Amino acid sequence: MGLILQILAAVLVAVVLAIVIVKYLPLKLRWIASLLLLLGTVLLVYKIYNGIMEPINFNKEKVVRYSKVVKKLKIIRNAEVRYYQVTGNYSKDKAGLIQFIDTAQLALTEVRDTVIQVNKGSKWQPLMVSVEKRIKDTIGYEPVAKYFTNVDYKTMFEVPGIEGKEFDLQIGNVEKIQGLIVPTFEAKTEKKDILKGLNNSLVKLELEANTSDEIKGEYISVGSLDEVTSGGNWPPSYDKKGEKKDN
């Protein structure tokens, strides 16, 4: 809208100048007016071009910056998932999570079906019945670090492009169904910090994004404190940018 108003204003000024030149400006001075009109035309073309390209360049730069943040959040999510597999909970201890990856062992299990005899009668009059039962056996252990090979998990809490800033990491609990309390986690950072230095008007619009192909709201986040999920709030396009599949 602003660009359209600028164009209309420029056209109006050009018409007024043309009228003034024709009616009032001496012939010998009209070359100066022509030069000014030429410069004005060049400036207008530049403004139009810049007005068209600025949102395009903003979106390109936004995706580049967001992709780096999403990559870090995926690493944090993987760390939390492995921590949950070992402990049954999530952790908000950043240094502890890094140490966990360095030192923890993940149990390898095997599930098998077997048939056992169950007494459906009494102690004095037994009635043995064959019942199929599923058994989970621990068959070994492997280091958690195996799942983070060639991954820079030591710096996973550092927000890319913002010196000294780390992701906010919180844990909580949600009652999934009555009586069943499930642990949750959330890691997030503000979009406005990531977009610092870009057009303020476009940044403001970005913070209000609410379409399915955008990262909604004011944060880029993974997990949730309000629902049971380990998903991120980014659209699928951020998982299809040529990155290797997450461990």
Tokens representing 51 are: 């007005």
Longest distance between any two alpha carbons in the chain, whole Å? 127
Cα–Cα distance, 234 to 6 (Å, whole number): 35
Reference 81, options 62, 104, 65; nearest CA is 104
Reference 83, options 108, 103, 100; nearest CA is 100
pTM (2 decimals)? 0.74
Alpha helices in the chain (DSSP H): 2-24, 30-87, 94-103, 191-194, 200-207
CB 98 within 8 A of CB 153: yes
169 Cβ contact partners less than 8 Å away, ≥ 6 residues apart: 76, 92, 94, 157, 185, 186, 187
Given this model, what pLDDT does residue 212 score? 85
Cα–Cα distance, 21 to 31 (Å, whole number): 10
Given this model, what pLDDT does residue 246 score? 46
Given this model, what pLDDT does residue 242 score? 46
Given this model, what pLDDT does residue 109 score? 75
pLDDT single digits (tens) 42-63: 777 767 766 778 889 999 999 9
Tokens representing 147 are: 């799942």
Given this model, what pLDDT does residue 219 score? 96
Given this model, what pLDDT does residue 14 score? 65
Give, as one character, the DSSP assignment of residue 157.
T
Given this model, what pLDDT does residue 245 score? 44
Q: β-strands 219-223, 128-143: how paired? A: unpaired
Give, as one character, the DSSP assignment of residue 25.
S
Q: What residues does each domain of the chain span?
A: 55-239
CB atoms within 10 A of CB 233: 18
Given this model, what pLDDT does residue 115 score? 76
The residue type at 12 = L
pLDDT single digits (tens) 67-115: 999 999 999 999 999 999 999 999 999 999 999 999 999 887 777 777 7
Q: Which residues of the chain are modeled with pLDDT < 70?
A: 1-34, 36-37, 46, 49-50, 241-247
Tokens representing 2 are: 């602003």
Given this model, what pLDDT does residue 28 score? 64
Given this model, what pLDDT does residue 21 score? 63
